[in-house]
Amino acid sequence: MRIKILGCSGGIGGKFRTTSMLVDNDILIDAGTGLGDLSVDALVKIDHVFITHSHLDHVAFLPFLVDTVCWMRNKPLIVHSTAPTLQVLKDHLFNWKIWPDFSQIPDGENPFMIFSELRVGEPVKINDRTFTAVPANHVVPAVGYLVDSGKASFLFSGDTTTNDALWAVANRTENLKYLVIETAFANKERDIAIASKHLCPSMLAEELAKLTRKVEVFVTHLKPGEVTLTMSEIERDAARWKPRMLENGHEFHL
pLDDT digits (tens, 9 = 90+) for 71-114: 999 999 999 999 999 999 999 999 999 999 999 999 999 999 99
Mean pLDDT of 222-231: 97
Mean pLDDT of 165-186: 98
- What lies within 8 Å, CB to CB, of 134 at 6+ separation is 120, 121, 143, 144, 145, 146, 155, 165, 166, 169
Question: Which pLDDT band holds residue 8 (cuts at 50, 70, 90)?
Answer: very high
**Cβ atoms within 10 Å, residue 23:** 24
pLDDT at site 36: 97
CATH for 2-246+249-253, options being 1.10.260.40, 3.40.50.1820, 3.10.20.30, 3.60.15.10: 3.60.15.10
pLDDT at site 110: 93
Rounded to whole angstroms, how far apart are CA atoms 38 and 68? Answer: 12
β 216-220/2-7 pair status:
unpaired
CA angle 240, 241, 243 (to 5 degrees): 125
Question: Which pLDDT band holds residue 115 (cuts at 50, 70, 90)?
Answer: very high
Instruction: Report domain extents, the chain.
Output: 2-246+249-253
**In which region does residue 19 sit, left (phi positive, over 0), alpha (psi from -120 to 50) or beta (all else)?**
beta
Which residues of 75-175 form beta strands (DSSP E)? 77-81, 106-107, 110-111, 113-117, 124-126, 129-135, 143-148, 153-156
Mean pLDDT of 214-241: 97
β 244-245/216-220 pair status:
parallel
pLDDT at site 197: 98
Question: Which pLDDT band holds residue 225 (cuts at 50, 70, 90)?
Answer: very high
pLDDT at site 242: 97
pLDDT at site 11: 96
Question: Which pLDDT band holds residue 163 (cuts at 50, 70, 90)?
Answer: very high
pTM check: above 0.75: yes
Q: pLDDT digit string (tens) for 13-66?
A: 999 999 999 999 999 999 999 999 999 999 999 999 999 999 999 999 999 999
Question: Which pLDDT band holds residue 198 (cuts at 50, 70, 90)?
Answer: very high
pLDDT at site 226: 97
Helix, strand, coil percentages in the chain from 3-state DSSP, rounded to 5 = 30, 30, 40
